Amino acid sequence: MTEEEAARLNVVDEQKIKNPRFYDGKQMVIMGVTYNESANTLYLEAKKVPYSFIVALSNKKFPENSMLYQLNFFKTGVLAPLITRNGMSMLLQRAALGLYSVPGGFLEAHDEEKS
């Protein structure tokens, strides 16, 4: 088990003490964003992570020298960036840790694709 995984599992234990019904559901974080101008298409590279990963990252629970702090993560709720009235897409940045967020709550990610 890595130090990062141990730290994440510690967060799960802490959360279960606060809330015995704590559910560590799968969430999506965006690792990269690419815009294809000719196709007018925004591509998002998404990874499925436990909710406790986001809590651990936000609260700096990982080891200080963790490579995870060198990566960009975009926290997302409904996998829908904010589209402004002038047609521009944007992601909102929180002040803490450069963790990016879009408006909306968390929805659990599932393996099946819905249309």
Considering the domain boundaries, does residue 80 fall inside one? no
Q: Is residue 40 part of a domain?
A: yes
In a domain, residue 58? The reply is yes
> Is 55 within the bounds of a domain?
yes
Q: Domain of residue 52: give its range.
A: 3-75
Is the overall model pTM greater than 0.75, yes or no? no
Q: Say if 33 falls within a structural domain.
A: yes
Beta-sheet strands, E only, within 1-115: 26-36, 41-50, 74-75, 82-83, 89-90, 92-93, 100-101
Does a structural domain hold residue 60?
yes
What digits encode the pLDDT tens for the residues 58-104? 899 999 999 999 998 887 654 445 566 676 666 655 545 555 555 55
- CA neighbours closer than 13 Å in the CB half-sphere of residue 32: 4
